[in-house]
Amino acid sequence: MESQIPAELLKTHIMQLHASISKIDSLRPSKQVNSLFTQLVKLCTLPSSVDVHDLSEDVQIMRESLINL
C-alpha cells in the first residue's frame, strides 16, 4: 500500500504551484510551464485522504481556477 501525502503538505504545495502558475504571462508550452504543470499533476495523483468538500472557501476557489486552466 502506498503511503498518503499529508493533507496540509499537499495543500501547501498546490497553493505554491497555483501562485507560480498565476504569475505566468502565458501558459504556452515552455520549460517553466511544463515543469509547473508536471509538478501539479504528480501532486494530484498521489494518494490522499483529502475530501475536497471540506476545503476552505479560498482553497475551493483556487482549486476551481486550476481546473479551469
Q: What is the pLDDT of residues 8-23, one digit of tens each?
A: 898 899 999 999 999 9
Per-residue model confidence as pLDDT tens digits over 26-35: 999 999 999 9
Per-residue pLDDT at 52? 84
pLDDT given at position 2:
62
What pLDDT was estimated at residue 69? 84
Q: Crossing angle, helix 7-23 and helix 31-44, to 10 degrees?
A: 160
- Alpha-carbon distance of 8 to 49, in angstroms, equals 11
pLDDT at residue 64 greater than cutoff 70: yes
User: Is 67 in a helix, a strand, or coil?
Assistant: helix
pTM reported for the whole predicted model: 0.80
